[in-house]
């Protein structure tokens, strides 16, 4: 539980904001020096997502997606814009969203909104999104804020829409990272928070071909 490792909630959030303000607005900056894994990450995410976009009675639509913790738009550019008509981006660091406007190029015209906001304070527009994509950012939310945010995401989904979390998983318990002021949870803790938010897991997958020295990364789809 984050309550066991986060002593001061205000400090937890403000320290993270300060950390990201000093990070270069580049793909390498977004990935903590692991920019070279970006293509492996995107290709796996595309395969995972496309199983829900295929034809069928419960097919997830492709009208609009939301990129949470979007940074400069790495996922928006390479995963979401090629699959969805429009995308919205939300990130706490204004400089990243400013950089996104040039990084995304011509296709960036299909980004409707750039929301500068921490996810603990962000509410997706109700009944708006086919896919809400949340990658490498849940560690910046306390358990209660993550559960509440996922509840708000649930109301933000269109019929047959899905919420996707892709993130690092600890081997056991909850581990605090004082450098960027984030936590890493184990699979059981994340599953419990998903259930607490009233969401049902549809699929879960471990990312392959990432460097051995980093945390295991898992992708979850839910609605």
7 in helix, strand or coil? Answer: coil
Cβ atoms 218, 187 nearer than 8 A: yes
What the block records as the tokens of 127 is 């009944």
Cβ atoms 141, 170 nearer than 8 A: no
Task: Tell me whether residue 54 is annotated as binding.
Answer: no
Task: Tell me whether residue 173 is annotated as binding.
Answer: no
CA pair distance 194, 223, nearest whole angstrom: 10
CA pair distance 13, 32, nearest whole angstrom: 19
Torsion sign across C-alpha atoms 81, 84, 85, 89: negative
CA pair distance 34, 14, nearest whole angstrom: 25
Cβ atoms 17, 182 nearer than 8 A: no
Task: Tell me whether residue 69 is annotated as binding.
Answer: yes
Task: Tell me whether residue 119 is annotated as binding.
Answer: yes
Task: Tell me whether residue 171 is annotated as binding.
Answer: no
Task: Tell me whether residue 137 is annotated as binding.
Answer: no
Feature table: binding site: 69, 74, 91-93, 119-120, 135
Feature table: binding site for S-adenosyl-L-methionine: 69, 74, 91-93, 119-120, 135
């Amino acid at each position: 539980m984050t309550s066991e490792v986060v002593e001061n909630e205000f400090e937890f959030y403000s320290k993270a904001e300060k950390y990201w303000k000093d990070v270069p607005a580049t793909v390498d900056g977004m990935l903590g020096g692991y920019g070279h894994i970006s293509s492996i990450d995107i290709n796996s995410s595309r395969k995972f997502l496309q199983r829900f976009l295929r034809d069928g009675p419960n097919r997830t639509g492709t009208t609009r997606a939301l990129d949470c913790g979007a940074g400069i738009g790495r996922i928006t550019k390479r995963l979401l814009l090629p699959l969805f008509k429009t995308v919205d981006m939300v990130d706490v660091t204004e400089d990243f969203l400013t950089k996104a406007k040039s990084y995304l190029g011509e296709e960036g015209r299909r980004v409707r909104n750039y929301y500068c906001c921490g996810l603990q304070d962000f509410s997706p527009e109700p009944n708006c999104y086919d896919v809400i994509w949340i990658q490498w950012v849940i560690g910046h939310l306390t358990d209660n804020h993550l559960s509440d945010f996922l509840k708000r995401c649930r109301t933000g989904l269109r019929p047959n829409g899905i919420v996707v979390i892709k993130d690092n998983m600890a081997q056991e318990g909850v581990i605090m990272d004082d450098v960027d002021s984030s936590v890493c949870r184990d699979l059981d803790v994340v599953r419990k928070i998903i259930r607490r938010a009233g969401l049902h897991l549809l699929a879960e997958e471990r990312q392959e071909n990432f460097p051995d020295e980093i945390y295991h990364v898992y992708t979850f789809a839910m609605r």
